[in-house]
A and B are shown apart, each in its own frame.
Chain A
Amino acid sequence: MTRTDTRIRNPFHDPLVTELIEDPRRYTEMFSEEILVGEALAAFRPTNVVVVGPQGAGKSMLLNLLRYNVLSEWISKRGKPPEPIKKMAPFFGISVNLVRAGFHAFGRRSVSAALAQGQKDQSVDAACAADFINHYLFREFIRALHFLGDNRGKRLKAWLTIDRLDGNRMAAQMSSWDCWYGYYSGCVTLQDLLDKCEQRLSVWRSFLNANIDTIPEGIWQSKATLGDPLHAIGNLLSSGTLASRRIPLFVIIDQYEVLPELNPSFGTTLQRIVNTLIKARDPVVFYKIGARTYDWGTELRVWGAESRIEIQRDYVLIDLADLLMRNEDKTGWLYPQLAIDVAHKRINVEGHFSCSKDVVPQILGKRTPAQEAAMYFPKGNDRRKAKLVRGIPESLKLRIEELCRKSPLEMRLAGAWVLQQLQRGVSESKITREVAERPWSAKKSWRKERIDIALLQIASVANQRRYYFSWETALYLSGANISVFLLIFAEIWDMASKADIHPLKNYPLDPQLQTDGIFVASDKWRNRDRNEQLGGRKRYEALGRLGSSIHDYLIHDFAISNPGHSGFSLRESDLWSGDEGNEVGSFLQRGVSWAMLEERIHTSKQREAATRRKWYLHPVLSPAFAIPFKRAKEPYYTSVNQVYSWFFGADKPKFGRTVPGRRHENEKLPQQLEMALEDGH
């Protein structure tokens, strides 16, 4: 195979998976059932569900399976639904993308203002939007019935236990529903209903597009009450007249979160209309919404009242980030299986290659820290290597070199341990005695927490950028985000094919090649946010400054005193109080939603009643800033004011504590420490 062939067939080329979502056939081939576990399965039960997760976490991928045409493709191809869903009661899923449908434009052109010479009445505009969504979803239902009625829907129909579909009888029944106020009178076929429905939707669109300035009387007088037609559809499906069992109606709602952005004056009212549908807790209709982590919850009120929809009572929340990041101690961690399965499907289906699942991790191979550390000194280079233990007395330095047998990783960790002892005021003679026991190796957790930073420092001393390679590294860097994972794999694959290396014939791929690909992926993720995502330009600047500061702090902390200081911690109570708290809070939330920051709750080590949260730059950004991608305990404890100055101030952020906590007050760091890395990075 030529290089061009390999590149063209990069199975990870389109990491954004949109086309897969649009095409039921490809979706069926590529969807990973690995995600259908635990609380993710709630999405397929008859209950209102909100799926949240950062950008690229796989929300749309999960919810897409609910759509009738997608599930039908699956059943037609495989004879049955995905295994976990097979055990559940059949459902009928129709969907609306609120932006594509044009729902978001209601209120931007106000019907009430057009009627009353400029006097706006929000309730009138909301009623018009409600009518639009009612009829839009009715149209989706009729199209679904058409689908069921022809060959394409044959297998789905069987799964739903629908024996016979009498379109005309159904059309007659539906056209006479009271909820339409006579609008569909005279429609005798499904096609009649569809045509009439599309005429109505077209009128609304023409008005919103400013093609017309009034709404015809026939439409104005027959506005359907929010949710009534959907309830009627749900009843039809549950009545037993259509199928031999009750079929719940699922309504998948996409792009809910962008309503306030695209319609600043009326967007939250539109969200309240959707909330009202959820609040109704209709026994036959169930809503499924996907939203970025913090785009859900900003407006929970219903339309026309102050009451709010409540979690558990009105809906179930599925946090995909939670689901995929859980148990990173590797016991029962779902994400690696998901990543393997997704990559395997990509390679086999999209790339038309053939490989087994167990080959996927082998493409990137394994790595040990010692192996990586040795790569920074391929020719020995003892002079430069000696700098790994600088800042400590000559006698100790010689002793460490002797004990570590010139292993760069051991030397760096030993150097860090000795520096810590010196900072704590331990005498040189005592340290000399203790080093014989190799405490930097013996203390497992001490060592584990510092290895990642040690490797960064070794790379820096060797005047090189860090190597990033191995399957495990790719998993960590992706931060349990499947889109990031695909991007990383795509770039590594591209690097391999540029070098005329077939990733399936020459694995594990060369670490240098993997590193090059990962750096490109890191850069692309950062620039994609800058150029393409809401507020990304500001995040690019603010997180860029923060990332550089974290790097500076960690690289210069040769004692590795605070290995957790690649992230920072704030009291929850300090957020959202005062202007600065609000600005910091919303900046952090948006960063998490767009997968540029990672947020975790944690227990404070300080004696305080308050709960805390900690934030890190998303791991995929670690290569760009040369900061650790593995998280150690105890982040940098800071204040909202300081974080505000990092993000919104003009000065370069100062990150981390420069003076170790337990050092005696009058003690000074060895002077060498201040200069530790001046020629190292």
Chain B
Amino acid sequence: MRLPWGLIKDIGPAFLAGGEFSIIGCLSFEDRCRAVPTSLSSGAYNCGSVSLLEIVDPPDAFPDYSEESRRKIDINRKVLKESGVPFESERVDLLASEDQMLDVIGKLRARLRSTILILDITSLPKRYFCFFLKRFLLLPSVRNLVVTYTQPGYNGYTQEHLAEDPMTCDHLPGYAAPLPPKGDTLVVSVGFESLSLNSLLEIYRGQRRSKLLLSFPPNGTAARRQWNTIRNIVSGRVEDVLRNNVEAVAAWDAEEVYKTLERWNGDADGLTLAPFGPKPHSLGMALFAMKYDFGMYYTQPKAYHPAYSGGIGSTWIYVVKWDDIICFNRVSAGV
């Protein structure tokens, strides 16, 4: 596994400055959804097209944030236009089926003119970006795939629930486990919300051991919120959490997540993955799940808080496929 990654300002030019690229991202209510389209549509870069998906929560989502979300999306649309970003957008349902997502991918592919595809996962829901990642990695026509992720700005995340109204536990589209499910260890990447994680534990834990992946917290609030989630997972008995079963990885370090999973997999018969944490962690998990054919499970929330995050922070890029070689198939030089 070799995954070149880093801050866009550091390694972006090495991979993106040479040729034309297309961006697939999300037009959302978050400020940070604008970061990649804006920064890569100007300067030394040659951006061929920007396609943004506007995700629509289901009508029965509660609380109903639709009005406020729409207002904030319209603001972001206006700001992008005023910044001169030439983008196309398309409304899609949050709970789109695999067929509907494949249709979207078909339309997006028709617009691609570039040799490099950038998948900006910043504001894309996990069920979308994990599925897109898989399809684009499998598609021979996409020879170069770069994933980008922008952190929130100084304001961080809202203190309220980030996401609510979770659905019953299900595999993420494209990531159903093989039969019989491999492995006896459930790995949970812990986020700020436990959502219906217990229902997942009920269905998939069984006799399995659980391991927790925490994101290395930039501040005390994040640590508190993650431990609140853990407290929910273990019914308040944090003393049950053994140090050996917990690993803290920087929130943006997808590669370390992948390596941690490889290490844990070596000690187990196989892993079942539950990506409830930060998106780069989910990225590391999705790459690992693809490589080893493991299942990824999630309790999809129906409602996302319109004040989910505030401001725009650093942008990271992850070169997941280059010259038609997927990062997990690329070996280090000399090996």
Chain A positions near chain B (C-beta within 8 angstroms): 4, 7-8, 13-16, 18-19, 22-23, 97, 99-102, 104-105, 107-110, 113, 136, 139, 198, 201-202, 205, 208-211, 258, 261-265, 490, 494, 528, 531-538, 541
Cβ–Cβ < 8 Å partners of A4 in chain B: 239
Give Cα A61–Cα B205 distance, bound, in whole angstroms.
17
B179 touches A202 (CB 8 A): yes
B95 touches A264 (CB 8 A): yes
- Residue B167 interfacial (CB < 8 Å): yes
- Residue B171 interfacial (CB < 8 Å): yes
Q: Given A209-B175, A528-B198, does the pair A537, B98 have CB atoms closer than 8 Å?
A: no
Q: Given A210-B174, A531-B196, A532-B195, does the pair A537, B179 have CB atoms closer than 8 Å?
A: no
Partner of A210, one of B98, B167, B232, B303: B98
Give Cα A139–Cα B197 distance, bound, in whole angstroms.
30
- Residue B170 interfacial (CB < 8 Å): yes
Q: Closest residue to A532 on the B side, CB-wise?
A: B196
Cβ–Cβ < 8 Å partners of B98 in chain A: 105, 108-109, 208, 210
A18 touches B201 (CB 8 A): yes
Cβ–Cβ < 8 Å partners of B173 in chain A: 108, 210
Give Cα A104–Cα B170 distance, bound, in whole angstroms.
9
Q: Given A13-B235, A202-B178, A531-B166, does the pair A19, B206 have CB atoms closer than 8 Å?
A: yes
B63 touches A102 (CB 8 A): no
Partner of A16, one of B167, B178, B194, B198: B198
Q: Closest residue to B96 on the A side, CB-wise?
A: A108
Cβ–Cβ < 8 Å partners of B174 in chain A: 209-211
Partner of B176, one of A16, A97, A209: A209
- Residue B42 interfacial (CB < 8 Å): no
Give Cα A568–Cα B135 distance, bound, in whole angstroms.
53
> 17 A-B pairs, CB-CB below 8 angstroms?
A13-B235, A14-B235, A18-B203, A18-B206, A22-B206, A23-B207, A100-B204, A102-B171, A105-B176, A108-B98, A210-B98, A210-B135, A261-B167, A490-B235, A531-B232, A532-B198, A535-B62
Q: Given A19-B205, A105-B176, A109-B99, does the pair A261, B198 have CB atoms closer than 8 Å?
A: no
B202 touches A18 (CB 8 A): yes
Q: Closest residue to A198 on the B side, CB-wise?
A: B179
Partner of A22, one of B60, B207, B239: B207
Give Cα A177–Cα B34 distance, bound, in whole angstroms.
60
Give Cα A108–Cα B102 distance, bound, in whole angstroms.
11
Give Cα A16–Cα B131 distance, bound, in whole angstroms.
32
B181 touches A537 (CB 8 A): no
- Residue B107 interfacial (CB < 8 Å): no
Q: Closest residue to B135 on the A side, CB-wise?
A: A210
B203 touches A100 (CB 8 A): yes
Q: Mark B236-275, 1 if CB is under 8 A from A, else 0.
A: 1101000000000000000000000000000000000000
CB distance from A176 to the nearest CB of B (A): 24
- Residue B44 interfacial (CB < 8 Å): no
Give Cα A113–Cα B171 distance, bound, in whole angstroms.
22
B97 touches A109 (CB 8 A): yes
Cβ–Cβ < 8 Å partners of B164 in chain A: 537
Cβ–Cβ < 8 Å partners of B168 in chain A: 99, 258, 261-262, 534
A205 touches B202 (CB 8 A): no
A100 touches B181 (CB 8 A): yes
Give Cα A109–Cα B197 distance, bound, in whole angstroms.
25
Q: Given A110-B99, A205-B178, A262-B167, does the pair A23, B235 have CB atoms closer than 8 Å?
A: no
B131 touches A262 (CB 8 A): no
Cβ–Cβ < 8 Å partners of A262 in chain B: 167-168, 170
Cβ–Cβ < 8 Å partners of B195 in chain A: 531-532
- Residue B165 interfacial (CB < 8 Å): yes
CB distance from A579 to the nearest CB of B (A): 14
Cβ–Cβ < 8 Å partners of A211 in chain B: 134, 138, 174
Give Cα A139–Cα B168 distance, bound, in whole angstroms.
26
Give Cα A483–Cα B171 distance, bound, in whole angstroms.
26
CB distance from B329 to the nearest CB of A (A): 16
Give Cα A537–Cα B98 distance, bound, in whole angstroms.
27
Give Cα A136–Cα B179 distance, bound, in whole angstroms.
9
